[in-house]
Homo-oligomer: A and B are copies of this chain.
Amino acid sequence: MAIDFLYFNTYHVAVDCIIFGFDEEGLKLLLCKRSFDPEKGKWSLMGGFLNPEESLDQAAQRVLTRITGLKDIYLEQFDVFSDVSRDPAARVVSAAYYALIKIGDYSNDLIAEFGAKWWPVSQYPELIFDHGQMVEEALVALRLKAKQEPIGFELLPQFFTIRQLRSLYESIYQTQLDPGNFRKKILSMKLLDQLPIKDKENSKRGAYYYEFNQQRYERFKSQGFLFEM
């Protein structure tokens, strides 16, 4: 075979991002109203086309920065969507990423600009193309990852209570967790530093704030420790 033949066909390449956030109400998903055809005005994921001078990871970061104003966002690529007719306007191969952001850091100005809105993961509108399937796969990938890596902290503010952390895991796994046992387990890992401040909003006694110690996690991991929830 000649190079001419092998290197003949080319395709549009895109990234699509499932942006997760978390607040008192649970796990959420940032969707936007599409501002161009096809399917203009319908709800969709944040996405964009690959530029010639960047990798897919860089393209995803660029799209996320444009939409959230944030830099160095936690990102995981979890699948590529390549069905021949997934985008009726053109043949587009799309790398799907999920991103975790601290919902409080997200600027409300941008919501207006992009027609964006946070939706509960259990109740979001119909999406264009195969974006609904992407969301469901992202949730599966997120659940898997959250069992093996301490990524939950990417969704919480820097300081948080054990209750908030438990509530996050409860909303990721759609289940109730025993408060005492959850507490015992997470504290036994020695990855949280207790702060001398309490949250008194949710209880009279007050719950201590904690902070995730990333450095200690890296150290433990290099010594063979495996995070598991």
Interface residues of chain A, those whose CB is within 8 Å of chain B, are 1, 3, 6-13, 36-37, 49-57, 77, 79-80, 82-84, 89-91, 93, 95, 144, 148
Contacts and interface: CB of A to CB of B under 8 A. Distances in A.
A110 B56 CA distance: 35
Given A36-B6, A49-B7, A77-B80, A13 B93 contact: yes
B56 A93 contact: yes
Given A56-B82, A77-B79, A89 B51 contact: no
Give the dominant DSSP class at A's interface.
loop
Contacts of A93: 13, 50, 56, 93
A9 B11 CA distance: 8
Copies in the complex: 2
Given A3-B37, A79-B77, A53 B13 contact: no
Nearest to A37: B3
Given A55-B83, A56-B80, A80-B95, A50 B89 contact: no
A1 B12 CA distance: 17
A38 to B, nearest CB: 8
Contact of A9 (B52, B55, B57): B52
Nearest to A2: B36
Nearest to A53: B84
Contacts of A36: 1, 3, 6
B89 A3 contact: yes
A189 B117 CA distance: 45
Contacts of A83: 55
A51 B13 contact: no
A90 B11 CA distance: 13
A55 B80 CA distance: 10
Contacts of A8: 49
A12 B10 contact: yes
Contact of A49 (B6, B37, B50): B6
A53 B11 CA distance: 12
A50 B12 CA distance: 12
